[in-house]
Chain A
Amino acid sequence: MKYMNSESKKRSPWVNLSLFSLTVIAVFILGWFVSTISERRAEALFAYKPKVQLADFEPRNEVWGKNYPWQYESYRKTQETDFHTPHGGNAMKDVLSENPEMVVLWAGYGFSKDYNQGRGHSYAIDDIHNTLRTAGPKAPDDGPMPSTCWTCKGPDVPRMMNQLGSPAAFYAGKWAKHGEEVVNAIGCADCHDATTMDLTITRPALVEAFEAMGKDISKATHQEMRSLVCAQCHVEYYFNNQNKEERPNYLTFPWVNGYGPEEMLKYYDDIKFSDWTHSISKAPMLKAQHPDYEVYTTGIHAERGVSCADCHMPYVSEGGLKYSNHHVTSPLKYVSQACQTCHRESEATLLKNVYDRQNKVAELRNKAEELLTRAHVEAKVAWDNNASEAEMKDILYEIRAGQWFWDYVAASHGGSFHSPVESSRVLGKAIDHAQNARIQLARLLATKGLTKEIPYPDLSTKEKAQEYIGLPMEKLKQEKDVFLKEIVPVWKKKAAEREAKMDLVLN
């Protein structure tokens, strides 16, 4: 006690007071600093003022548009059909009229009836109603196509998968089953989380494909997500019927071995899968869908870290405002925003660079088309001259492989620019397989006494080609007309009534 007293007496009260005050000030500033950090963290969450509350699975793009007017306005420009390039654009093109050989290549399969270069995302629903491939179902369980065909058509799909309880329940049944439900075209909720606006995956097939490859999609970076949201649909897929009872027509990406054309072909061969049997050559065929993502990953842009959105949804300035352009289309429509962010060449030079690559790949593609068509026609002649199954087996596999490699390139939107080297390599394989088939066919036909060239059918127009493979086009068109006049208006009316009851919660 004595010591303590003497110690405290030694210190002037002013020292204690100033020590106290300094500590108070330091703690006050520290506390203030910490509390402003927390406040402004919270403030960041309310940086923008949404007009309406978006429910989970809100499918109506125009409702999202109330909160994000610039993004929505630019999205609406996907309705434009005014832009043509030599190999693409945003207008509908009748691909079968441009390449009538394709009718023969797809003989016996829906694509020989009708195949158009698609229009913008806004038209997803209209175009699937209109195509002859979906035919004219008269009842929910009628028609040639399964429900799975809706999967990529709009944000009603994840809503329905959730409502029905599982993706399998959505895929089951015929296409006409969801006609009243899937009415909003590809839009906001297909790629965005309704609460955070973060990019998100809404199609189970992509998550499952990543799992099958032993990858975890939830580890994807933001930059990777800017391509992966597109890869939900712009990929090769097939309808898996290995468990037909519980999971019919289950949408699956054949990515187990990887997503190169060889790996996917091996996958299909291993499970003995074919999309259809060719009506002319009887070959077990594969239809490549649109391996856009797969081809893009082999290109130089992907290798340099450029995502789909960097070119197809470039950042734009409008007055003082910047936003990502949601007018998803050919970047050749806005070269200055898409290409010239990185490339300082003139617009004319850049366009030439693109067209050069596309034209050169198209040259090979046209060659492969002709050779594959010849192979199909020659195979038919072999069958007609009593060739046996055993004699034809290897030949038919060559045709299957050749057409798969051709289609891998032909079906990939923009693939000839995304990855010209890979596209050319794969077309080289297509030509090789087609010619292999034809060499073997020539030998086989020689044993049957046929040594002259097999005449090439007149395929100068789509109509002649369709007549050649025996398609009843008038009947198909009539069915479609009835469907569009009688069924679709009912679907639309019922959907409008259902949506009128959906809430719109204002903020």
Chain B
Amino acid sequence: MTGKLIKSLVPPPKWRVVVVVLAGIITGLSFYAIYAGKAWSYLSDAPETCVNCHIMAPQYATWQHSSHREVAHCNDCHVPHDNIFRTYLFKAKDGMRHASMFTLRLEPQNIFIKEEGTEVVQENCIRCHSGLITDNKLLAQTSVFHQKFEDRLCWDCHREVPHGRVKSLSSTPYARVPMLKSPVPEWIKSNKK
């Protein structure tokens, strides 16, 4: 079945050169897309990846000025961590959505988290801060478990954590998100000694 399908795609010898060239063009274009979009960086956990697309600058800048920057990167909160398949499935789904919205220029002025993302972030708050809502000595939940755990989201009260309350595209007009080069100016390099 597969053999037959492949065979049916093989072009007649007269067309082979043209097809090979065209296939090369398509492959080359794909490589360029990978390079221009820094596709490999999306496999990493580096927060700089999330500002590849500059509309995430306010999110990066607010995180980078918050206390969470020392302990948690974007993916620690915004991607599920209970199993690796779910992690990458979620990442892929999110990535597809972001790429299509950005390409079609459909991104809103104020970016709000979607319901699926909300659940993931809440899971991740608990992943790190479970000590606050369970009693380790009794291996049981504390009396405030229901109130604090099931009834509401952490950031319903902790509203400034970690991005602050205002997150519009224009809220951090001059934030320096990483596009850094060498900090030593040429004239110092050349004038020295």
Contact flag A197-B176 (CB < 8 Å), given A225-B183, A314-B65, A320-B170: yes
A33 with B33, Cβ < 8 A, contacts A4-B12, A167-B191, A321-B173 known = yes
Q: Looking at the complex, which of B24-32, B75-83, B86-94, B145-153 is the stretch in contact with chain A?
A: B24-32
Report if A199 contacts B (CB, 8 A). Answer: yes
A34 to B30, CA, bound (A): 9
Contact partners of B61 in chain A: CB under 8 A: 315, 322
Instruction: Check B67 against A27 for contact (C-beta < 8 Å).
Output: no
Asked if B29 contacts A30 (CB within 8 A), the reply is yes
Question: With an 8 A cutoff between CB atoms, is B37 at the interface?
Answer: yes
Q: Is there contact, CB below 8 Å, between B65 and A34?
A: no
- Chain B residues in 8 Å Cβ range of A193: 185
Query: Is A460 in contact with chain B by the CB < 8 A criterion?
Result: no
Beta-carbon contact of A198 and B36 below 8 Å: no
What per-residue 1/0 map shows which CB atoms of B9-32 lie under 8 Å from chain A?
Answer: 100111000000010011001101
Within the complex, the shortest CB–CB distance from A76 to chain B, in Å, comes to: 17
Min CB distance, B53 to chain A, in Å? 7
Shortest Cβ distance from residue A36 to the other chain B in the assembled complex, whole angstroms: 5
Cβ-closest chain B residue relative to A210: B184
- A18-44 vs B: 1/0 string, CB under 8 Å? 010001001100111110111011011
How close is B73's CB to chain A, nearest CB, in angstroms?
A: 13
Task: Known contacts A37-B37, A40-B102, A320-B166; decide if A304 and B70 are in contact (CB<8 Å).
Answer: yes
A8 within 8 A of B: yes
Q: Does A19 lie within 8 Å of B9, measured CB to CB?
A: yes
Whether B173 pairs with A47 at a CB distance below 8 angstroms is yes
Complex: chain A residue closest to B178, CB-CB:
A222
A207 lies within 8 A of B192 (CB):
yes
B171 touches A322 (CB 8 A): yes
Are A198 and B192 also in contact (CB < 8 A) when A34-B33, A207-B184 are? no
Q: Please state if A323 and B36 are interface contacts (CB–CB under 8 Å).
A: no
A40-B102, A197-B174, A314-B65 known; A320 and B168 CB under 8 Å? yes
Q: Is B84 located at the chain interface by the 8 A CB criterion? A: no
Q: A36-B102, A37-B37 are in contact. Are A204 and B188 (CB under 8 A)?
A: yes
A204, B164: Cβ atoms closer than 8 Å? no
Query: Which residues of the partner chain A approach B185 to less than 8 Å between Cβ atoms?
Result: 193, 200-202
The answer to whether A222 touches B180, judged by C-beta atoms less than 8 angstroms apart, is yes
Binds B, one of A158-166, A176-184, A279-287: A158-166
**Which residues 136-180 in B have Cβ within 8 Å of A in the complex?**
164-166, 168, 170-176, 178-180
The total of interchain contacts (Cβ-Cβ below 8 angstroms) comes to 134
- Does B54 have its Cβ within 8 Å of any Cβ on chain A? yes
Measured in the bound complex, the distance between the Cα atoms of B153 and A85 in whole Å is 40
Interface size in chain B (residues, C-beta < 8 A): 51
**A310 an interface residue at 8 Å Cβ cutoff?**
yes
Contact residues of A between 421 and 445, Cβ < 8 Å to B: none
Interface residues of A in 311-370 (CB under 8 A from B): 314-315, 317, 320-324, 341-342
Asked if B26 contacts A27 (CB within 8 A), the reply is yes
Q: Which residues of A lie under 8 Å from residue B30 when comparing CB positions?
A: 30
Determine the chain A residues whose CB is within 8 A of the CB of B57 once the complex forms. 47
Given A36-B103, A204-B188, A222-B178: A11 in contact with B8 (beta carbons within 8 A):
yes
Q: Is B66 an interface residue (CB 8 A)?
A: yes
How many chain A residues sit at the interface, stated as a range, is 35 or more
Say yes or no: is A218 at the interface (Cβ < 8 Å to chain B).
yes
Does A140 reach chain B (CB closer than 8 Å)?
Answer: no
Residue among A7, A23, A37, A317 making CB contact with B36, cutoff 8 Å: A37
A204–B185 CA distance with the chains assembled, in angstroms: 10
CA distance in complex: A322, B60 (Å): 12
A residues near B54, Cβ cutoff 8 Å: 40, 43-44, 47
Identify the interface centre among A34, A68, A200, A314: most chain B CB within 10 Å of its CB. Answer: A34
Contact residues of A between 192 and 226, Cβ < 8 Å to B:
193, 196-202, 204, 207-208, 217-218, 220, 222, 225
Q: Are the CB atoms of B184 and A33 closer together than 8 Å? A: no
In the assembled complex, the CB of A20 is this many whole angstroms from the nearest CB of chain B, namely 10
Residue A48 lies at the interface, judged by CB distance under 8 Å to chain B: yes
B66 touches A198 (CB 8 A): no
The docked-state distance in angstroms from the alpha carbon of A340 to that of B20 is: 63
Q: What distance in Å separates the Cβ of B106 from its nearest Cβ neighbour in chain A?
A: 12
How far apart sit A162 and B37, CA to CA, in the bound complex (Å)? 39
Residues from 40 to 73 in A contacting B, C-beta threshold 8 Å: 40-41, 43-44, 47-48, 68, 70-71
Q: A27-B26, A40-B53 are in contact. List 15 more A-B contacts (CB 8 A).
A: A15-B8, A23-B22, A34-B36, A70-B174, A197-B176, A198-B176, A199-B183, A200-B184, A201-B185, A201-B188, A218-B184, A315-B61, A320-B166, A321-B171, A324-B65
3 closest cross-chain pairs (CB), A and B: A315-B65, A44-B54, A342-B67
**A-B contact list, 5 entries, CB within 8 Å:** A33-B33, A197-B174, A317-B164, A321-B172, A322-B171
